[in-house]
Amino acid sequence: MAVTIMDHPLIHHKLGIMRRKATSTKEFRDLVSEVAMLICYEATRKLPLTDIEIETPLVKTIAKEIEGKKLCIVPILRAGLHMADGILNLIPNAKVGHVGLYRNEETLEPVEYFCKLPSDAAEREIFVVDPMLATGGSAVAAIDILKKRGITKFHFLCLIAAPEGVDRLTKAHPDIDIYIGNLDERLNENGYILPGLGDAGDRIYGTK
State yes or no: residue 192 binds ligand URA (CB under 6 A). Answer: yes
Burial 22-49 (b: 16+ CB within 10 A, else e): ebeeeebbbbbbbbbbbbbeebbeeeee
Q: Which residues are catalytic?
A: 103, 107, 199, 202
Coil, helix or strand for 115?
strand
Report the 10 Å Cβ neighbour count for 70.
Answer: 16
Of 71, 132, 139, 161, the one binding ligand URA by CB under 6 A = 132
- Min dist CB 134 to ligand URA, Å, is 4
Output 72 or 200, the one with its CB closest to ligand URA.
200
If contact means CB under 5 to 8 A according to the sort of partner, which of Mg ion, ligand PRP, ligand URA, none does residue 196 touch?
A: ligand URA
State yes or no: residue 135 binds ligand PRP (CB under 6 A). Answer: yes
- Min dist CB 138 to ligand URA, Å, is 8
Strands 177-183 and 153-161 come out as parallel
If contact means CB under 5 to 8 A according to the sort of partner, which of ligand URA, ligand PRP, Mg ion, none does residue 102 touch?
A: ligand PRP
Report the site for ligand PRP in 8-27 (rule: CB under 6 A): none
If contact means CB under 5 to 8 A according to the sort of partner, which of Mg ion, ligand PRP, ligand URA, none does residue 145 touch?
A: none
Comparing CA positions, the residue from 131, 142, 139 lying closest to residue 99 is 142
Coil, helix or strand for 191?
coil
**How far is the CA of 196 from the CAs of 131, 159, 185, 187, 200, in angstroms?**
11, 10, 9, 9, 9
Annotated binding-site ranges for 5-phospho-alpha-D-ribose 1-diphosphate: 78, 103, 130-138, 199
